[in-house]
Structure 1
Amino acid sequence: MKQCHSLVRKAIAGASAVCFGSLLPLKAMAAEEAAGVSSLAVGLDTLWVMVAAVLVLFMQAGFVLLETGSTRMKNAGHIAGKTVITVGLCSLVFWFAGYGLIFGESGNSFIGWGQFMFAPAASDSLPPAVFFLFQLAFAAVSLSIAWGGFAERAKLSVYVLFTLLFSILVYPVVAHWIWGGGWLGEHGKQDFAGSTVVHLTGAMAALAATILLKPRLGKYNRDGSANEIPGHNQVYTTLGVCFLWIGWFGFNAGSTLSVGDGFFAFVAMNTQIAAGASALSAMAVSWIRHKRADIPVILNGYLAGLVAITASCAFVEPWAAILIGGIAGGLVFVSAQWLERRRIDDPISALSVHGAAGIWGTLSTGFLASPELASKVGVGQGGWLYTGSLEQLWVQFYGVVAAGGYAFALSFLCLYAIKKWFGLRVTPQEEMEGLDLSEHGSYGYPEHIRTTNDEIAAHRTSPSIGGFRTEP
Structure 2
Amino acid sequence: MEQSLNQLAMGIDTVWVLVAAALVFFMEAGFAALEAGFIRAKNSINIIMKVFMDCTVGMLGYWAVGFGVMYGLDKAGIIGISDFFLQGEAAHLGLKIPLYAYWLFQAAFAVAVATIVSGAVAERMKFAPYIVFSFLATAIIYPMAGHWVWNPEGWLAKMGMVDFAGSAAVHAVGGWASLAAIIVLGPRTGKFNADGSPNVIPGHNLPLAAMGAFMLWFGWFGFNPGSSLSGLDMNIARIAVTTNLAAAAGGTIGAIYTTLKWGKPDPSMVINGCLAGLVAITAGCASVSPVSAVIIGAIAGVLVVEAVGWVDHLRADDPVGAVAVHGFCGTFGVLAVGFFHSEKGLLNGGGWGLLGTQALGVLSVSLFAFIATYIVFSVLKATVGIRVTVEEELDGMDLAEHGIAAYSDSPTFPTHSGAPSLSNLPESAPMQWTQLTPTQSSGK
Asked if TM exceeds 0.5, the reply is: yes
In structure 2, which of residues 48, 53, 73 is the aligned counterpart of residue 85 of structure 1? 53
In the alignment, structure 1 residue 54 sits paired with structure 2 residue 22: yes
* Aligned mate of 1:167, from 138, 144, 169: 138
Is the contact between residue 156 and residue 439 of structure 1 (CA under 8 Å) also seen in structure 2?
Answer: yes
Could you tell me how far apart the structure 2 residues matched to 1:106 and 1:399 are?
19
SS in structure 2 at match of 1:332: helix
C-alpha distance in 2, partners of 1:122/1:342?
44
Which residue of structure 1 lines up, in the alignment, with residue 163 of structure 2? Answer: 191
Structure 1, unaligned stretches of length 5 or more?
1-32, 372-381, 458-472
Q: Does 1:407 align with 2:379?
A: no
The equivalent residue for 1:417 is: 379
Q: 2:172 aligns with which of 200, 203, 206?
A: 200
Q: Please point out which of 131, 137, 141 is paired with 2:112.
A: 141
Find out whether 1:251 has 2:219 as its counterpart: no
Q: Is the 8 A contact 1:169 1:410 kept in 2?
A: no
Deviation at 1:120, TM superposition (A): 6.4
The secondary structure found in structure 2 opposite 1:61 is helix
Aligned residue number for residue 155 of structure 1? 126
Q: Offset at 1:148? A: 2.1
Unaligned runs of 5+ in 2: 416-426, 430-444
Distance in 2 between residues matched to 1:426 and 1:452, nearest whole Å: 16
Q: Larger Cα Rg: Structure 1 or Structure 2?
A: 1
For normalisation by structure 1, the TM-score amounts to: 0.85
The separation in 2 between residues aligned to 1:451 and 1:341, in whole angstroms, is 33
Question: Separation in 2 of the partners of 1:107 and 1:129?
Answer: 24
CA offset digits 1:347-383 (Å, max 9, x no partner): 0100000011001100001111011xxxxxxxxxx01
Find the residue that maps to 1:242 and give its secondary structure.
Answer: helix
Q: Spell out, residue by residue over 1:178-213, the C-alpha distance to the aligned partner (whole angstroms, 9 max, x if none).
A: 001200010011100000000011111111111011
CA shift digits 1:64-84 (9 cap, x unpaired): 000000000000111111211
Residue of structure 2 in register with 1:470 after alignment = none
**Per-residue deviation at 1:147?**
1.3
1:265 matched to which residue of 2?
237
Identify which range, 90-99 or 161-170, moves more after superposition: 161-170
In the alignment, which residue of structure 1 is the partner of 2:400? 438
Deviation at 1:119, TM superposition (A): 3.8
Return the offset for 1:154: 0.2
Aligned to 2:43: 75
- Summarize the alignment of residues 309-320 of structure 1 with structure 2, pairs less than 5 Å apart: 309-320=281-292
Higher helix share: 1
The aligned counterpart of 1:389 is 351
Q: Give the C-alpha shift of residue 336 in structure 1.
A: 0.7
Q: Secondary structure at the residue paired with 1:40?
A: helix
CA 1:388–1:58: 2 relative to 1, 3 Å:
closer
1:296 Cα offset (Å):
0.2
Check whether the contact 2:255–2:266 (CA below 8 A) recurs between aligned residues.
Answer: yes
Q: Is the 8 A contact 1:274 1:309 kept in 2?
A: yes
Q: Deviations over 1:22-73 (max 9, x none)?
A: xxxxxxxxxxx22222111110100000000000000000000000000000
Task: Give the Å deviation of 1:341.
Answer: 2.3
Task: State percent identity of aligned pairs.
Answer: 41
Deviation at 1:276, TM superposition (A): 0.4
Partner residue of 2:147?
176
Distance 1:247 1:114 in 2: 30
Query: Counterpart amino acid of 1:347?
Result: P
Question: What SS does the corresponding residue of 1:117 show, helix, strand or coil?
Answer: helix
Asked if 2 retains the 8 angstrom alpha-carbon contact of 1:48 and 1:258, the reply is yes
- When the two structures are aligned, how many residues end up with a matched partner? 414
Query: Residues of 1 paired with 2:74 and 2:372: CA distance?
Result: 23
Instruction: Check the 8 A contact 1:55/1:248 in 2, yes or no.
Output: yes
Residues 64 and 139 of structure 2 are in contact (CA less than 8 Å); yes or no, is this contact kept in structure 1?
A: no
Could you tell which deviates more after superposition, 334-343 or 112-121? 112-121
1:9 corresponds to: none
SS at match of 1:282: helix
Return closer, same or farther for 1:122/1:214 CA change in 2, 3 Å cut-off.
Answer: closer
After superposition, give the CA deviation of every residue in 1:131-152 in whole Å (9 maximum; x if it has no partner). Answer: 0000000001111011122110
RMSD: 1.9
TM-score (norm 2): 0.90
Corresponding residue number in structure 1 for 2:81:
113
**What secondary structure does 2:282 align onto?**
helix
Amino acid across the alignment from 2:43: N
In structure 1, C-alpha distance between the alignment counterparts of 2:182 and 2:381, rounded to whole Å: 13
Aligned partner letter, 1:294: D
